[in-house]
A = this chain, B = another copy of it.
Amino acid sequence: MAHVLGQNQYGKAENRIVRVHREADRHHLKDLNVSVSLRGDFEDVHLTGSNANCLPTDSTKNTVYAFAKRHGIESAEGFAMLLARHFVENTERGVVHSARIRIEEYSWDRIAAASDRPGETADTGHSFVRNGQEVRTTEVEYDGGRFRVVSGLKDLVVMNTTDSEFWGYLKDPYTTLPEAYDRILATQVTARWAFGFAGRDAEDAAPDWNHSYREVRRHLLEAFAQTYSYSLQQTLHAMGTRVLDHRAEVDEVRLELPNKHHFLVDLEPFGLKNENEVYYAADRMYGLIEGTVHREGVTPVIPVS
């Protein structure tokens, strides 16, 4: 029985790039981790050892750095679109049929330092401290016709110290969990959201990607903080819905929320009453809650991981 080469792709992963934009003495910084994947006419490469259709991964890396110089980097999404389109449209003989660019973005704050005027501080123009709160992500695919843009964030860790309950659940023979009427709810948010935008050109009204990111992030945080929760599922749904309610450019939100358990420590043996004050933060095992919320009539595109 014959064998078939199925889906395949390749490229250079994790190109770490820092792009400095110098506006006189005031510098601006983009710090990205860019991964390229190309799909196309690569059967010979796999089957015959002929590399005639194989653009080296090293060339895709060079392209990332050259484009950063030539075009600057206004947003991760915009930069990814430029790259994806280039590989599909400019690679010889049309061997690249579609391209996927994934980017992680690390953000930096300016360092404020004491200024000449006593009691005041000023930022320093070219000094930065890494803001470790979360990693911004995007994934752009282009097939020669349309773009698919899915942005997101990961490693955003949040906690509510109250306003969370969990009771009234289904009880099977393996259920021993006591009901909880006031518990800590903590999670490490991984979120991805898909944009309706699919156009090829600037005039196709791409959203302001950076503004959109800040606003989606804000709504996720606010929904987490303001939802009185009876389950992490309910909180997840509230977070996704809040984004769709406020951001017209987003069609679909997928969230992966590990339940970072904080167990109340039993202090009775030591004659102490633990009134929801002292918790043990556990590593593993953990509940893992995942779900998608999307607009009616839209076909979800974000894969289950």
* B-binding residues in A (CB < 8 A): 1-22, 27, 29, 31, 35, 37, 42, 45-47, 49-63, 65-66, 68-70, 90-93, 95, 108, 111, 113-114, 124, 126-134, 155-163, 166-177, 184, 221-222, 224-226, 229-231, 233-234, 236-237, 240-241, 244-245, 252, 254, 258-259, 262, 265, 267, 269-270, 272, 274, 276-297, 300, 303-305
A11's contact among B31, B262, B288, by CB below 8 Å, is which? Answer: B288
Judge whether A8 and B233 touch: CB under 8 Å. yes
B127–A225 contact, CB under 8 A?
yes
Q: Are A290 and B8 neighbours in the complex by a CB distance under 8 Å?
A: yes
Could you tell me if B291 and A172 are in contact, using CB atoms closer than 8 angstroms? no
Q: Kindly report which residue of chain B lies nearest to residue A234, judged by CB atoms.
A: B49
Contacts of A8 in B (CB 8 A): 233, 290-292
A183 to chain B, nearest CB (A): 11
Besides A4-B296, A8-B290, A133-B133, 5 more A-B contacts (Cβ < 8 Å) are A5-B237, A7-B304, A21-B277, A49-B230, A283-B283
Could you tell me if A161 and B20 are in contact, using CB atoms closer than 8 angstroms?
A: yes
**Cα(A224)–Cα(B126), bound, Å:** 11
